[in-house]
Amino acid sequence: MAGFSPEDCNRLDFEILAEGGVALYFQHEILGEDIAWFALERYEVIQFDEEALDSIEGIHFEARLKLGFPENYEPTFESLRESMSEMDVPATGGVALVLPGIERVVVDDPAGMRGLLEVISGLSHEFLMTGQRFLALLQSNDAEIGLGQFGAREVVWNPRERMPWTRGL
């Protein structure tokens, strides 16, 4: 897929990729609408099971299952990066990972979450350099959650929930 054109600057994927390839969501309805948009744009949407995302180990387990990593996959960020870098990202559309309920991991293991975000953001950038689109949509049930900076960028709320009043604050 070719890079974005100037006419694409209002596309949802452009906005998320311009901010580092990771977007944060609070409202399930908005996340659902955006997932539908990605599906219409021929993205492969890979949704992790919220119940399994109670720890970094749970995220590794889900990644192995949902992304088809080999049986000998080791639950480390190095292995995650290596395995994800070998993913087949479609030439048309891209890949959108959906990780719901991430607030538990953020509270229990902020360093682990930072490591995960570093991997995803770095790979998002690398894939984009070759015209492939790879991004992640993180959902939190905490409207005030902050993930700080990673990859020299701060994780920001998705375009429709950036203003606090859109999250009921």
1-15 tens-digit pLDDT? 557 777 778 899 999
Per-residue pLDDT at 156: 79
Mean pLDDT, range 13-40, rounded to an integer: 95
Write the pLDDT tens digit of every residue in 103-142.
999 999 999 999 999 999 999 999 998 899 999 999 999 9
Q: What share of the chain is helix, strand, coil (3-state, %, to 5)?
A: 45, 15, 35
Write the pLDDT tens digit of every residue in 56-96.
999 999 999 999 998 889 999 999 999 999 999 988 899 99
Selection from 69, 92, 65, 88 nearest residue 79 by Cα: 69
Number of H helices, E strands in the chain: 6, 7
Selection from 163, 169, 152 nearest residue 21 by Cα: 152
Beta strands in 105-148 (DSSP E): 134-139
CB 117 within 8 A of CB 146: no
* pTM reported for the whole predicted model: 0.87
Largest interatomic CA distance in the chain: 46
> How would you label 47-70 residue by residue, b for 16+ Cβ within 10 Å and e otherwise?
bbebebbeebebbbbbbbeebebe
Residue 134 is given by DSSP the state: E
Distance between CA atoms of residues 106 and 70, nearest Å: 27
Give the chain's radius of gyration (CA, Å).
15
What contacts 34, CB < 8 A, 6 or more positions away?
12, 25, 137, 158
